[in-house]
Chains A and B, each alone.
Chain A
Amino acid sequence: MVLEGAIIYSNLLVLLALGLTLTYITTNVPNFAQGSFAIVGSYIAVTLLRIFHIHPYFSLPFLLIAGAIVGFSTYLILKPLVARRADVEILMIATLAIDLILLGTIGAYSEILSKIVGFTQAKFVFSQLDFSIFGIKGIFFVSIAVTLLLLFCLYLLLYKTKFGTALRASMENPDLAETMGINVEQTRAFSWALSGALAAVAGGLLPFMQEIVPMTGDIIIISIFASSIVGGLTHITGALVGGYIIGLSESLITYYLSSIFGTGFLVYGKVVALVIMIITLLFVPSGIMGINWGKRPKK
């Protein structure tokens, strides 16, 4: 039961961390708005549910598109600063500003939506809409299927298409990519759209396992960054590894400790994520995938 929740949570963290890592690699921007990207997805899903009566599971393809638009727009806002080669501190402040704008927009929208449907949308869950198989929640299967499907598509895109190769080339060495005639600008914009899309899908699934409020994004951002950093911010596969490490330990360690120290310990979930992140930074700052496993150091 606890493991079930831990796996669901990990799947969603992987999607969110993937986006964060992707945009960090391509544009060198640590995106503090990634959590709010997800909550935008949650609110679009709840709108489709309340107004058009579309089950959240069926609104996922739509979230993919809407999320891509949010991600792409964010890139457009950041673009003048990226082009100016602004310091990373300035870029971080800019994403904090975008996060605040998103928070304000989500908050305002939640109240408007409440007025339209006649009851409060400031907080909501989807768990009552879920199916179950042999006592296991549907979201367990759906989150696994969606994550695997998206990962598979991402793999195909990155490793089996010309654009994917160009994308990886520009991640590694944008200057050299430019000399090959690759439109590096385009690959950057794409990575932001992709990041937004993955986050929005995660956001559509999140209400099946926890209550959503406009501020939720600002809380899960800790876990997202912890996942990306633990896995290695400069490696796409790092998000995968980090997402599961943080997701599982956040849920399982907290559960274990609370069974010893009492339920009061449940609030320390984010502290667990934080501690793992700090341990990683102290001992392997480049993250798990940044370690040169078993290889001799190159000249």
Chain B
Amino acid sequence: MDVSYNWLNRYVEHDWSPDALAEKLTMAGLEVESVAPLGRHLDGVVVGKIEAVREHPNADQLVLCDVALGDGAPVQIACGAPNVAAGQKAPVATVGTTLSLPDPDDPDARQELTVEARELRGEPSRGMICAEDELGLSDDHSGIMVLGDDATVGQPLADYLAAHDVTPDDAVFDIDLTPNRPDATSHLGVARDVAALAGTEVQRPAVETPAAGGTAADEIDVRLEDPDGCPRYVAMLVRDVDVRPSPLWLRRRLSAIGLQPRNHVVDVTNFVLHECGQPLHAFDRRAIADDTIVVRRTDGETDFVTLDDEERTLPDDTLLICDADGPVAVAGVMGGANSEVSANTTDVLIESAYFDPSSIRRTAKALDIQTDSSYRFERGVDRDGQVWAAARAAELIAELGDGTIVPGMVDAHPDPPSPRTVALRPDRVRQVLGMDVPTDDIRRLLTAIGFDIEADEGALRCTVPTWRPDVSIEEDLIEEVARLHGYDQIPEPERVPVPSRAPTQRPSAALERQVRGLLRGKGYREIYTNSMLPTERAERFNDRPAGSKSGPVVETKNPISEEMAALRPRLLPGVLDVMQHNRNHGQEALRFFEVGHVYRRAEGGDDTLVPGYDEHPALLVGLSGPHAPTGWDTDPREADIFDLKGTVEALLDDLRLPDLTMTPRGTDDASITTHRLDVAAGDTPLGTIARVHDDVAEDFDLDAPVFVAEFNWATLVGQASPQLKRSYAAVSRFPVVDRDLAVLVPASQPVGPLQATIRDAGAPLLRRVDVFDVYEGEGIGDDEKSVAFTLRFGADRTLTDEEVDEQMAAIVDALSRHHDATLRQ
């Protein structure tokens, strides 16, 4: 919201510069985002009188003027404005004056120009007769600015303007108004806070407010058919108005806060809105059929043309202002084209109403428009501000357009609310704030912003002013006290109490740190990817094998774009994007991991935290490119699945997961991955390790094979957390015995089951078994391969060779029985 410094200063006295005031307001809860200087001083610009105008001998577009400046003989000034005429008084920038001119190419920019004595097409010109825009007073460039008869020749223009209530330089505050401060949506509202901070009084312009009834009430009939939506409707009439352009002071007020001046009637309603916060609407009275105003709701959808000439479809139950024939305005949001004030209007009906905030908000949302009116109504305007605003507008419309106020007014107000009081305990103020605020200060601060205070037993009974609908409980008053007393006055205690229990940590947090550290150490970089992606891609990656619990992908109802219409069902698409980006930027080693949530619709049952949605954290590790950095004596090969499997094994071992199994599964149903291994702890599936299908990798411009491990992090944590508690097992003091074993097996025999058989048959003495060679080729049969193991035996005693031999024999026997293996000699 824009607030003009000069305008504000009409209502309140203070000593602060614009920057100092901005700081004060910010610290009192009206955050000033920026202070923009507007216009500039007009030193060197004086009132001149155009004595004579004659043709320029060398230029059709220019005339030569003799201009009296009050200090000697008139000077000759060349001028190109169409409206220049002898006898006019006009602002003249004298030689040496620097002006800030509008840039014809950029409406927001200005360029400096110092006026010099020079020749224009062979004729001397000593100065410049100025248009309003050249002085920074408005955007008007239609001709030179013609001053009134009261201007004195030679008088500094600034003095003349000051006499007309115009200050050439101003500062505009952009206030980021919070929704709880409807009272500050106007200059008077902000002035109220300034006065409270400065210890001065707000000076609201004196206005003669009429009593309800009178001629106006005889002429206009107002019927409230929905007193909940519109509890109060005030109407006044001004007749015989000459609708004109507004005077400079009014145009300056509006343009300072970014409003385009239109005509004086519309400008006055805008001015009063920004003066006191009460939105007004001016109807052309002759357009109001039967002089009747009916406030009612639409019954079904209704088409209506608003005054911005848009045809809009108003939804059912929209609050309307109607005449005898039909709608003339969308209540509180925008007037209708059919009853708009125009240059031909003579009689003006001024509407000043109170509308229910949520009703206006629903309408503005449904129509997707926000106007200065709806913005204020939906926050809640002063519950008792209607009459003053109507009378203020009527006075200005009449005065500036030579009209006559019809005596009296309509005040449809069937059920005036009684004042609200809130009790405030000064002790509670001190308790909540942790700051000593004397009771007298509390009273003084609240009184300054309009509260009536009565002392009661241990509490202050505070009557809430009608412009503070946000204040309804004690805490609201505590905040008012705090912000006016100053948040910077709140002390920082030297020491603070903390509950006497040590902070706990969820196992997931500790495990996450552990896994991050491990993967970092193994040369993977952590990534954070967008949870949102195109629906099509989400569905492609949503692997839902028959019988799995995976649900459909989650879509948002109001996506930013098609590119972000769904939520990721798994982390894989995100890492592929990152791999693609980095590959395209010359990165060959693509090693990433991510911990993040994944989401699916829950199919059936309300057992999820949020009904219908299944969300859990996931862990992904992805790998592509060389297996090691290039070195002077290393020749990196392309990474393969065993590089990733090794990382995963190390990770799962580090988490001490019990009963791990990894079962080959081939290609998944969605053809996203191949060479898949299902990882489980006992019966609990944990995740998968796989190679990304080449077709998928190709879609992401990845030419090297891509490997990826994905885990349900919640399940992993569930399985790993019991392992965080460790019990000690005594370390054996006895020597171990190592033996090697090489067997020949059919070439198609997987090695994993051999290892499992060795473990089973080697119990209880076998401590570990590692594969140290797999060989096919010369020296052994075509359909055979040789697999070599190293075995370690141990016990809580010294083993004899005989014992180990026996165990080895059992192992060889088991391998031969289960896998057709023969000992390699």
Q: Do A and B come from one complex?
A: no
